Amino acid sequence: MRVERILAPNPGPFTGSGTNTYLIISDGEALIIDPGPLERAHEEAILTSLVDLRPKGILVTHTHEDHAPLANPLAADLDLPAYGYAPGPNFKPDLLLADEDWVWFGREQVQALHTPGHSVDHLCFLARDSLFTGDHIMGGSSVVVEDMSAYLASLRRLQQLHPARLYPGHGLVMHDPAGIVAGYIEHRLQREQQVLSAIKTGASTVMDIVQTVYEDIDSDLHPLAAMSVRAHLTKLADDGVVQHMENDVVSLVGELP
């Protein structure tokens, strides 16, 4: 199996140097992972990389706008199926992948793993001991989390797979998956402790917590930090520790188990 990375021309604060489109290749057959944004130059780069290969299908990790919009048009151009977990605003899969489904290419197969957290529709893809992580794990920038309980459960699940390397949706390949995933879990649990101690010392709204926990970040990023705090609060509410009202008022109602 061989992997090629094609960097999309969409660098930015949430995409790092841009979205990684991957080709995974076996025996002259290729699967395309995350075609990326609707950019003509990027589509040309993908088509150029496919010269001499037989493309078999398109795999989409999740439906965010930096990963999925090119999938349907490229699938139509190449007369291939596009696979994904569920339809979303930027993408309608031709074929749905459930957790642990397999897709063949050449003499290899890749397994879809449902890894909700960054988004509810997120898949990682495991081919031999290489894990394609989409936005579940990113190189160089921190992941925006929608559902913290699900995110932590998905990280713990990846730990059980013992991959040898991670190919993220943004940034470079990572060769210490065990250390990286353990670090991600530890970072989130530390944040959770910071959120809890902010509430214990008087923070009573989401923005209070943001200003206490994220005092060192640029205020432009506060709305994003608020999203992350809300994801922590949803988990802490599920754990019976806090009450989080619709108007973003927060109170302590218990202790962590």
**Least Cβ distance, residue 62 to Zn ion (angstroms):** 6
Q: Find the part of the chain contacting Zn ion (CB under 5 A) among 63-71, 78-86, 88-96, 151-159.
A: 63-71
**Least Cβ distance, residue 227 to Zn ion (angstroms):** 12
Q: Interface residues for Zn ion in 97-156 (CB under 5 A)?
A: 135
**Least Cβ distance, residue 122 to Zn ion (angstroms):** 8
CB 26 within 8 A of CB 1: yes
Pick between residue 97 and residue 242 the one whose CB is nearest to Zn ion: 97
Pick between residue 25 and residue 124 the one whose CB is nearest to Zn ion: 124
* Chain position whose Cβ is nearest to Zn ion: 64
Q: Find the part of the chain contacting Zn ion (CB under 5 A) among 42-50, 57-65, 96-104, 174-182.
A: 57-65
Which of 27, 34, 52, 66 is flagged as catalytic? 66
Bridge partners, 102 (sequence order): 111
CB 222 within 8 A of CB 214: yes
Q: Which amino acid is at 109?
A: Q
Pick between residue 150 and residue 196 the one whose CB is nearest to Zn ion: 150
Q: Find the part of the chain contacting Zn ion (CB under 5 A) among 45-53, 60-68, 84-92, 191-199.
A: 60-68
Q: How far is CA 192 from CA 146, 153, 183, 256, in A?
A: 14, 15, 14, 10
How many residues comprise the chain?
257
Pick between residue 43 and residue 135 the one whose CB is nearest to Zn ion: 135
Q: Interface residues for Zn ion in 163-182 (CB under 5 A)?
A: none
**Least Cβ distance, residue 118 to Zn ion (angstroms):** 6
Q: Look at the block and give the residue holding tokens 């459960």.
A: 153
Quick check: is 94 catalytic? no
With DSSP H G I counted as helix, E B as strand and the rest as coil, what are the percentages for the chain, rounded to 5? Answer: 35, 25, 40
Q: How far is CA 177 from CA 92, 138, 165, 249, in A?
A: 31, 12, 6, 38
Per-residue contact flags (x/-) with Zn ion for residues 36 to 55, judged by CB under 5 A: --------------------
Q: Among residues 42, 64, 170, 188, which is the contact residue for Zn ion, using CB under 5 A?
A: 64
Pick between residue 64 and residue 235 the one whose CB is nearest to Zn ion: 64
Q: How far is CA 4 from CA 23, 32, 33, 49, 166, in A?
A: 5, 10, 10, 8, 13
Q: Is 123 helix (H, G, I), strand (E, B) or coil?
A: strand
Nearest Cα to Cα of residue 239 among 155, 150, 149:
149
Note the residues at the interface with Zn ion (CB under 5 A). 64, 135
Catalytic residues: 66
